Structure formats: C-alpha cells, structure tokens
Amino acid sequence: MILGTLELPRTAALAPMAGVADRAFRELCMSYGACYCVSEMASAKGLVLSGCGRRTDALLYLSEAERPAAVQLFGEDPDIMARAARLALRHNPQAIDINMGCPAPKVAGNGGGSALLRDPVLAQRIVAAVVGAVDVPVTVKIRKGWDDDHVTAVEIARRAEEAGAAAIAVHGRTRVQMYAPPVDWDIIRRVKQSVSIPVIGNGDVTTPAAAMAMYDQTGCDLVMIGRGAMGRPWLFAQVKAFLERGELLPDPPVAQRMEVMLRHMEAICRYKGEGVAMREARKHAAWYFTGLRGAAGLRRSAFSLETLDDARRLAEEAAEQNRP
C-alpha cells in the first residue's frame, strides 16, 4: 500500500486503541512485524487548548521504534481539527489520522468519533480542513455506519477522497454494535470498489488465515489488527510469515509468552512509572493469560498487581501451571 512516500508491505498494521495501544504496546507489535501503527486518539480541542500539554504530548509521542506511524485526532470542529493537526506535526508523524469511528459515549456523545458518520457533510469539511493544514498524508478511520438504518461508510469514503484523504480505514461494525458480532467485511469490499484511494480493512482479524481471507474477500490494500493482538503481539509475526511464505508459525510456548508479557510491562513502567503502569498493565496481563491452564485464577490475580515483582511472580506461577 502506498501512503504518501511510504510503501507498506502486504502484511498487517496495528489499529489505534485508546487505553491499549500506547507507546509500549506499539513498539512491541512493531518489533513483531507490524508494518505500521497509529497512536491512541487525542482530543483536538484538548491539544489546541493545552498547546501540547504533557498528557496529550504523551499520547502523540512517536519513538523511532514504532515508525512508520500516524497520530490520531478526534473532534467535531473543522478549524480546531486543522489547528490540532498542525500542532501534532511536532512529533513528525508519517500521517495524520482522523477518528470517525470511536463508539465511546464520551467521544461520540460530544459530536466526535462515530457521531460524524451521521453527518457526511461535516465529515468532509473536517477532512478538507486537516488536509489543507498539513503537508503529510491524512487518513480517516470509520465504521460501517451509525446503525443498520444509517450505513454511511461508502458516502463518507467518497467524500473523504474528494476532500483529499490519502487512505481510509473501515471497521465492519456500526456504532450501535460497538464490538458485538457479526462483523461485516462486505462493507469494506463496497468501500474499496467505490474509491480510488487505498482502503484498510479492520475487524475480527485474529489469525493469519483471517488476514488472508480479509485481503481475498474485500480486496483491501492493507489489513489492520486491533483486539486480535491484545495479549498476542506475536500475531503480527504469524501473519507476516503466512502471507509472505505460507508458513504457519505456532504460538510461543507459555514460558516465552510470559517473557513477552514481562517485557511489555517493563516498557510500560519505563514510560509511565511503576505506579501508573502496573494499574494499566493488569488488563494486559489478563489478556496474556487467555487460553492457559488456570486462566481464571491467573486473571483474578492479575487485577491486583501492584509492582513489577508481583508480575514476575505471577508469570512464574503461570509458567509452572502450564508446563508440558
């Protein structure tokens, strides 16, 4: 997929996920072969009002280990979005991504995120304003529509292209669905057929075979993985091997998975401090334990983690419980 001056291989990118895909997780997934990633979403209004305050700056910061990468902004005012995009350039992103898919009430309820799927004209004005404000590619992430009676993905995609967007990512669920099944890959195919810019497919890619199926069924230019990588960053290596060589790599043995989990937690602590980091790491630990023997008890213990040493002891317990 061509994005500005970038040529992204036909593997998989990491989706933006608020509260999940922070710097530590992005760097980890990129080390396993993700070809591209997008930051956690930042409020355009917050960015403009704070002038790149510490918290927003941390959301948008991009290290060399996670590039190529885009920063993602959300908001409902074209002028503020444009001003925020210019401020975000201080982090030298390869692209600016506009969030038009977040279903969270605190975002959609204030007119941003997936609420824009109900106002294609405003959505187009926002894209045009951001495109006119920056000199890097502008991408847009959308959903199928607001609900089954308001499926606007094709119209939004066409309007985004007219406004100068360089690519569009489509999640195959409506806002009303949130993350409930089923996911509609056909809407990704319909969007791909309706525009000439690259289309990124997103939704329920949890295995290498699913990644190939999305490429084959939708004709998308790139696959984007979100929740499928939670607790499984090695999925990107598996997808890459399967798509490039037809090789199906096994999941790592449990001891190695625990090493990856600890490396992940150490990185969160390095970037955020142990106190904050370990509270955030609890959900990640629970995901790493999925499918293991004794997973229910391990997850219960994960939600009381306070220190890295606690995590190390729990990792040893998980490895011991799952010895062959």
3-class SS of residue 277: helix
Predicted pLDDT at 125:
98
Tokens 């308001």 correspond to 150
Predicted pLDDT at 324:
83
172 vs 274: CA distance, rounded Å? 37
Instruction: Answer yes or no: are the C-beta atoms of 38 and 25 closer than 8 Å.
Output: no
Predicted pLDDT at 42:
94
Predicted pLDDT at 77:
97
What number of other Cβ atoms are within 10 A of residue 299's Cβ?
A: 18
Predicted pLDDT at 299:
96
What is the per-residue pLDDT across 125-157, written as a single tens digit (0 to 9) for each?
Answer: 999 999 999 999 999 999 999 999 999 999 999
Predicted pLDDT at 59:
84
106 vs 95: CA distance, rounded Å? 25
Residue 28 in tokens: 């980890």
How many whole angstroms from its chain centre is CA 194?
Answer: 24
**Bridge partner list, 41:** 72
Instruction: Given the residues 35, 37, 102, 220, select the one marked as catalytic.
Output: 102
Predicted pLDDT at 116:
97
Predicted pLDDT at 164:
98
Q: How far is CA 36 from CA 66, 123, 134, in A?
A: 8, 24, 20
Query: Do the strands 199-202 and 167-174 form a parallel or antiparallel pair, or are they unpaired?
Result: parallel
Positions of the chain with pLDDT under 70? 51-54
Q: What is the DSSP string of 226-275?
A: SGGGTT-TTHHHHHHHHHHH---PPPPPHHHHHHHHHHHHHHHHHHH-HH
306 vs 265: CA distance, rounded Å? 12
Predicted pLDDT at 52:
60
Catalytic annotation present for 102: yes
pTM of the model: 0.95
What is the per-residue pLDDT across 311-321, written as a single tens digit (0 to 9) for each?
Answer: 999 999 999 99
